[in-house]
Amino acid sequence: MATYVLIHGGHHGSWCWDKVVPLLRNKEHVVEVPDLPGHGKDKTPIQEVTLQSCVNKVCSIIKTKSEPVILVGHSLAGNVISQVAEQIPDKIKTLVYLTAYLLRDGESLTSLFESFRPLLNMSQDQSYYTMKTEVIADLFYNDCSAEDIDRAKALLCPEATAIFMTPVHLSNEKFGRVPRIYIECLCDQTIIPRKQKAMYTTIPCLRVISLNTGHSPFLSAPEMLGACLLSLEDHVGLEKT
């Protein structure tokens, strides 16, 4: 039995894992799916959300577990799980980046944020933003059903700009010793495959798994994603493919 902690990406909440969680729990694994601050059912004001507040939330959950966990981060949550690994490396069995940002020490997503500005509705104080409605389906859900797209659009929330602007602070002694797996999504329109490959090439991972999906395989291909996650219960001996 393994413990999985699944961390949603920007604008989403724990609801995005609804199709995947039963697949893991049916195999008698423990699964935690928290809402990050300001997301889902968490009522933290979005203006107060920071990278560190997200990290603290995840660390508080993992610290309650008696055994190291498999920590999965989607998209923007890649920054969160990397920083969690820096803080509590001994509590993490494997880091799993699901088409997620995998940054080097000192890097942030500031330049990426600026490139996305034409697609965003910014708050007056610039502390948070929403995606323009007309781009959401193509960016996030290009291979999802109309039903899933409609539900997701209704549940998306604003995102804090601080998550993009804050650099990660990582060391070889802590973050560097936690095994990493990257799940690339080959039809992703948000983090394009070329960018995913550049990240996992710069920061090598124990294994790279490819899914022929868009940015949200937890909606478009939950069984395939679930099988990938179940295969990571014991990562020992895996080689990069």
Determine, yes or no, domain membership for 148: yes
* Cβ(75)–Cβ(99) below 8 Å: yes
**Residue type for position 50:** T
Structurally, the chain folds into a number of domains equal to 1
For residue 197, pLDDT over 80 is answered with yes
Q: Which domain holds residue 44?
A: 3-230
pLDDT (0 to 100) of residue 200: 98
Q: Give pLDDT tens digits for 117-130.
A: 999 999 999 999 99
Residue 103 φ/ψ, nearest 5 degrees: -100, 155
Determine, yes or no, domain membership for 42: yes
* Cβ(105)–Cβ(171) below 8 Å: yes
Determine, yes or no, domain membership for 8: yes
Determine, yes or no, domain membership for 241: no
Determine, yes or no, domain membership for 239: no
For residue 179, pLDDT over 80 is answered with yes
Over residues 195-216, mean pLDDT: 97
Determine, yes or no, domain membership for 237: no
CB atoms within 10 A of CB 165: 14
CATH of the domain at 204: 3.40.50.1820
* Cβ(19)–Cβ(218) below 8 Å: yes
Q: What burial letters (b/e) apply to 102-119, b meaning 16+ CB within 10 Å?
A: bbeeebbbeeeeeebeee
Q: Give pLDDT tens digits for 102-159.
A: 999 999 999 999 999 999 999 999 999 999 999 999 999 999 999 999 999 999 999 9
Determine, yes or no, domain membership for 240: no
Determine, yes or no, domain membership for 238: no
* Cβ(71)–Cβ(49) below 8 Å: no
Q: Give pLDDT tens digits for 14-39.
A: 999 999 999 999 999 999 999 999 99
